[in-house]
Structure 1
Amino acid sequence: MKRTFFLKLLAVVVFFAYACKKEQYNAPNISGVGTDTIVLSLGDKIVLAPNITNLKGNDYTWLVNGKETASGQVNYTFEAATAGNFNVTFKVNNKGGADEQTFKIFVEKAITVSIADALAVSMGQVIEIKPAIDGPNRTDYEYEWSIGDSVIGKKRDLSFISPASGTFALKLRTTAGKQSATATRNITVKAAQYVKNAYMVLEYAPAPAKNHNWSIIGDAESWEFGDEHPLPYSEFLTQATALRKDDTYSSLVLGSWGGSATFKFDHTVSNAPGKPDIELTATYSRADLPAVYVAYDRNKNGKPDEEEWYEIKNEDYGIEDLPDYEMTFTYNKTTTDDRRVYSYFNWKDNQVTPIAGEVVTNKTFSSSMTFDGVFSTRGFFPGLNMIDLPSKKVAMMEGWKASFTRKGKRITKNLTGAAPFSQKLNVDIDLAVNKKGEPVQLPGIDFVKVVKTVYPFQQDFINAGGVMTDFNMDEKRMLHVGGILDKTLKN
């Protein structure tokens, strides 16, 4: 019996000894090491803590790019001291076997920012500032240009303009991921003298109407006081430019639908964030807003290129019923009798079933003379003038056309009870949009175009029993444009 007990006890001892020996030689297994690359910034630290199965008798080794950096520890703290790619390998072995896994780490290089020295520009002029920026290859870079507490730009390059002279500390903060870097440079803005009014007339494209006065430069109601200038087209632009430089409110009559004029400043108007930049004086009603377009001379060629025009979004934006409307105006004839002169022109639109008409202006000779004894152009087709009063001879001045087409969007409105009068219109450059209606960021503008886009109808309760009547050719509905002032200029 004793022998039997001894054999059983021996079997138990052998079993446990074998079991312990088998456990001791179980190979370790590493888990918890992902396949994605860990991205760090310079100065970051990360604790690498893999999971291990079978711990007895293990030896641990850590290697960075093949070089042993630690041993005898399960976790490892990696410090991002230099930029580059790193393979951090964790090795485990015991008598039962071995395993190893590698952490892939990428340390981004630091962002560096520098701005050119000796920055200088005249007030009312734009300088393009292009900083040198180096850093990690990322797509989430953000930029913030500022002067003091005012943010003046959110793009990498800055189109800088100031309406005032002085020296300013210009700061650029660049961020990407968790990194950021800042550079500061002084910029000197030199004093300069400019005219606040957009006095230069680059293009005058009026649309005629009843008693339209194409040659007026000044108050349209004071035609008899010498404000008429019946000149060839190029000379008229020169004269209008000269008069508008000296007299802020020398206006032009743009006329009926489609009439427009393009003006230029002698400097770039700064885009002041959050407030109007331009004050425009015009004759319009609350329901008859003129359309205003602006352009920044980005390529510095001195003229507004077609792709540089942007519309200022106003209350009427997007409500046009005919986005591509056209009207063609054609001079017909002028006839006279002993007392009167009759001027005729035709018009026709571009619709599938065209609408057309004729406008006749009936003027008496006695009531059409200015105080200087000159026969007025009031009511004549644009460019037409009576060049010899005794013989009643009329002629189209050089550069003007006997037939032309005006194009644009048409906003058809009932303007009953909305009388036009001379008033000021504030224009905010921040409201500029492209042809898709998307906001655009402009540092400032050099050119302004004013266009009549509202096609007026009125309800005649007295003479027509409430019928809607086309009022586009009525002289009371013509658009007049006067001063276009830079509100930001600190002269």
Structure 2
Amino acid sequence: MNKSYKFLVYLTTVTILLIGGCKKEAETPAPAPGISGLEAEYYVVVKETLLFKPAIENKVDSLVWHVNGKRVANAMEYNFQAPAEPGTYNLIVMAYNSGNVFQKVVRITTGRYLNFQTTTNAILTLEASKKFAGKNDLKWEVLSPPSELYRLTATNATSAMFATVDRGTYKLKVSSGDLADTLLITVRRPERLASAYIAKVFDYLPAPGQFVNELPKYVAGDTYETMVNKAGKELVGENANAITLGGWGGYVVLGFDHTIVNVAGRRDFRIHGNAFGAAANPRPNAPFGGSSEPGIVMVAYDKNKNGKPDEDEWYEIKGSGNFSAEKEPWYAIAVGKNNDVRTFRSYEMTYDRPATESPTGTPQNNISINNYIRWADNQGQQGYKVKNTFHAQSYYPAWLKDDKITYKGIRLARNGVEESGQGSYYVQYAYGYGYVDNYPNTHDNSGIDIEWAIDKNGNKVILPGIDFVKIYNGIDQENGWLGEASTEISRGEDLHLLGTKIETVKQ
């Protein structure tokens, strides 16, 4: 076989292989196209448009759109124009490539209103539609509520928050000039019904006081976590028991299993204390007082939905004396008794662990240790808290490892007055409103209105509701044989869930 013939055979063989390879490649089908990024159902207001722009997987030769069986477009996206009358439409988008077809079916409902769904005692965030872009004069309003126990708050130019206590369909309107949208919010019960009472204790740290280590009971070996759990066992549920917050600054942080709605014109919740009126105050025509040991209230709603209160979420309930006690009916009485009636908005006090728990001599005037717990504040003042003969346990939180502890907050004007002239009858006069353990639990002034909330700069804020409450003792005062003013708290209540209506006090 000559060389020319061999080359011809070789060339023919290579050509056949190449042709065979090309034929095999041509016979391999292209991957089927895919469509994603589309929901199964959409809702659009009549006369509005809705742009469909799906994500495409693999090669696509064409994308064909059909509405109710009629071909309406051959493009990579489709702009649906809702007719003037409400209706239901089946949108089918079909993706083609060589030898393959894939389709996606979408249901479009058109109506006269924007539809939303939520549950009772939950915050629903509402965003204005795109047609309001650039508008900063939006007005949000409720047109026809099935219940008055709701709240709508506009948070900025384009969004609002809505919460309600009762089920039903709420019709809302958002507008700017001639532009307007009507919203329908369908509210249903959650799968798990809300409790009207405290559901959890997140934090507990009383300041030194005569009931500390007793309410709740400290047992050797208890830790911070143990005491928080013990506080929870006392406070959670309807059948709650009292715990102490100790002296000034001592606090507890608690939560509910739902959002307490900030209903306009009403007080929204109440935290029980053990306040009571004096039975035999010798002062004629005296304002209400007796055992009023006001705890300052902070509130928060769960902005980031993490189920716990965060430091940047707290707002202060502006009680009647949070800035000054001058308008309190007992103010002149306290001044006449040389009380320290100053109010400190940024107060700090540090307590030292006591050097001893044993009396060094014979108790005098029901005091077993005069120089018991050293304290110092950020106003240049210092001194000692006394230990009385009625409570022998340590007043310093026994589970703490630190020998010093500092508390921060508002210090209210001292409201305790000795009225007998003999050191035997102390009356702690009540502040007007806005505190815990300030009025008896059955009194309207024990109720708290979320509407009284202010931010850290003292500016009023309108909250749709709250999930968490912090209470701390706002009074630093020794009242003779009674001992220090110490806030005690017990059951917490959502007044709306209990059907309790208490009108608010406007500030």
Bucket of the pairwise TM-score, normalised by the shorter protein: 0.5 to 0.7
Where in structure 2 are the equivalents of 1:13-92 lying within 5 Å? none
Q: 1:192 aligned to 2:192?
A: yes
**Aligned partner of 2:248: which letter?**
W
Q: Which position in structure 1 is the counterpart of 2:405?
A: 404
Q: 1:381 aligned to 2:395?
A: yes
Where in structure 2 are the equivalents of 1:316-355 lying within 5 Å? 316-319=321-324, 321-334=343-356, 345-351=372-378, 353-355=380-382
Segments of 5+ residues of structure 2 without an aligned counterpart are 1-110, 277-288, 325-341, 420-426, 430-436, 500-507
CA RMSD of aligned residues (A): 3.6
Describe the SS at the equivalent of 1:430: helix
Q: Which position in structure 1 is the counterpart of 2:489?
A: 481
Where in structure 2 are the equivalents of 1:52-201 lying within 5 Å? 117=115, 119-135=116-132, 137-148=134-145, 152-155=151-154, 156-164=158-166, 166=167, 168-190=168-190, 192-201=192-201
Describe the SS at the equivalent of 1:243: helix
**Aligned partner of 1:409: which letter?**
I
Aligned length: 328
Tell me how far apart the structure 1 counterparts of residues 359 and 413 of structure 2 sit (CA, whole Å). Answer: 38
| Aligned 8 A contact 1:233 1:400 in 2 | no
Cα distance 1:169–1:133, how it changes in 2: closer, same or farther (>3 A)? farther
After superposition, the C-alpha distances for 1:165-217 in whole angstroms (9 at most, x for unaligned) are x3x223232222344443435343435323322242211121113x3333413
| Aligned 8 A contact 1:271 1:444 in 2 | yes
Q: Which position in structure 1 is the counterpart of 2:459?
A: 438
| Aligned 8 A contact 1:321 1:410 in 2 | yes
Q: Which position in structure 1 is the counterpart of 2:386?
A: 359
Tell me how far apart the structure 2 counterparts of residues 246 and 474 of structure 1 sit (CA, whole Å). Answer: 30
Say which one has the larger Rg: 1
| Aligned 8 A contact 1:361 1:380 in 2 | no
Q: 1:254 aligned to 2:230?
A: no
Tell me how far apart the structure 2 counterparts of residues 298 and 473 of structure 1 sit (CA, whole Å). Answer: 45
Tell me how far apart the structure 1 counterparts of residues 481 and 374 of structure 2 sit (CA, whole Å). Answer: 10
After superposition, the C-alpha distances for 1:65-98 in whole angstroms (9 at most, x for unaligned) are xxxxxxxxxxxxxxxxxxxxxxxxxxxxxxxxxx
| Aligned 8 A contact 2:163 2:464 in 1 | yes
Q: Which position in structure 2 is the counterpart of 1:388?
A: none
Tell me how far apart the structure 1 counterparts of residues 142 and 385 of structure 2 sit (CA, whole Å). Answer: 58
Report percent identity of matched pairs: 22
Describe the SS at the equivalent of 1:196: coil
Q: Which position in structure 2 is the counterpart of 1:295?
A: 300
Cα distance 1:252–1:122, how it changes in 2: closer, same or farther (>3 A)? same
Tell me how far apart the structure 2 counterparts of residues 114 and 305 of structure 1 sit (CA, whole Å). Answer: 40
Tell me how far apart the structure 2 counterparts of residues 200 and 322 of structure 1 sit (CA, whole Å). Answer: 31
1:314 to 316, 319, 328: 319
Cα distance 1:348–1:278, how it changes in 2: closer, same or farther (>3 A)? same
1:241 to 215, 218, 232: 232
Tell me how far apart the structure 2 counterparts of residues 256 and 472 of structure 1 sit (CA, whole Å). Answer: 14
Q: Which position in structure 2 is the counterpart of 1:74?
A: none
Segments of 5+ residues of structure 1 without an aligned counterpart are 1-112, 218-226, 369-377, 385-396, 457-469
Describe the SS at the equivalent of 1:303: coil
How many angstroms does 1:147 deviate by? Answer: 4.0
| Aligned 8 A contact 1:128 1:157 in 2 | yes
Cα distance 1:335–1:273, how it changes in 2: closer, same or farther (>3 A)? closer
| Aligned 8 A contact 1:254 1:452 in 2 | yes
Q: Which position in structure 2 is the counterpart of 1:423?
A: 440
| Aligned 8 A contact 2:236 2:491 in 1 | no
Cα distance 1:440–1:115, how it changes in 2: closer, same or farther (>3 A)? farther
How many angstroms does 1:317 deviate by? Answer: 2.5
How many angstroms does 1:446 deviate by? Answer: 0.9
How many angstroms does 1:154 deviate by? Answer: 4.8
How many angstroms does 1:404 deviate by? Answer: 0.4
How many angstroms does 1:413 deviate by? Answer: 2.2
Tell me how far apart the structure 1 counterparts of residues 159 and 235 of structure 2 sit (CA, whole Å). Answer: 36
| Aligned 8 A contact 2:476 2:484 in 1 | no
Q: Which position in structure 2 is the counterpart of 1:221?
A: none
How many angstroms does 1:486 deviate by? Answer: 0.9
TM-score, with length taken from structure 1 = 0.58
| Aligned 8 A contact 2:199 2:256 in 1 | yes
Q: 1:454 aligned to 2:475?
A: yes
Q: Which position in structure 1 is the counterpart of 2:212?
A: 213
TM-score, with length taken from structure 2 = 0.56
